[in-house]
Amino acid sequence: MQKAYLKNLKKLTQFWEQGNPDEIHHFLISKGFSPRKNLNMLDIGCGSGRDAGWATNLGAKVVAVDILPEMLKVAQESHPDPTIKWICDTLPEISKVSGRFDVILISGVWQHLLPIERKKSLIKLETLLSKKGVIYISLRLGEPDLERCMLKVSLRELYTMIKNTNLKILDISCVNKDFLNRNNVAWQSVLLTKN
């Protein structure tokens, strides 16, 4: 996966920056979890930094995480806000992140994890979630992009995985078209919270 992203780093970051976070994360916003002053947000798989920059501009305190140092460098250059804490780390370990977060944003990431990594990630994410916080996971539906090492994901699988955690599904969006206008991609968002 990392090689495919590094090979197309400039092209991908330019593409992702075209997305409007207000549209992409409409479901999160509509449920009352819009980034705002004093909200602690963890953006896992921050990519170009688009969502971290958006949330920070709205007043949130953001920790942005990506697996690729090269991607973090591009994100920092694109969104040079000194209040964003940039960390090179990855799921499921996410060992360099500490604290509790009101919103944990996992947008466009879940499909890159193996099922066993998804299970471990949920257990770890639960420890980083504040008492009334939410984990926002976007599920990429459609055929996986094998060049970027994507796997199929489903709501059914997520239901099964949370059974062994102290998490529950708070809400589920309908299936939405891709906001970056890819014909073969659709998204479904899920909000998880603690039991």
**Position 9 confidence tier, pLDDT thresholds 50, 70, 90:** low
Structural domain boundaries enclosing 118: 2-9+38-194
90-94, 127-131, 139-143: the lowest-pLDDT one: 139-143
Whether 83 is covered by a domain: the verdict is yes
Whether 25 is covered by a domain: the verdict is no
Three-class SS state of 82: coil
Whether 188 is covered by a domain: the verdict is yes
Whether 15 is covered by a domain: the verdict is no
What digits encode the pLDDT tens for the residues 107-129?
Answer: 989 999 999 999 999 999 999 99
Whether 183 is covered by a domain: the verdict is yes
Above 60 in pLDDT, residue 1?
A: no
Number of domains in the chain: 1
CATH number, domain with residue 171: 3.40.50.150
C-alpha atoms less than 13 angstroms from C-alpha of 14 in its C-beta half-sphere: 4
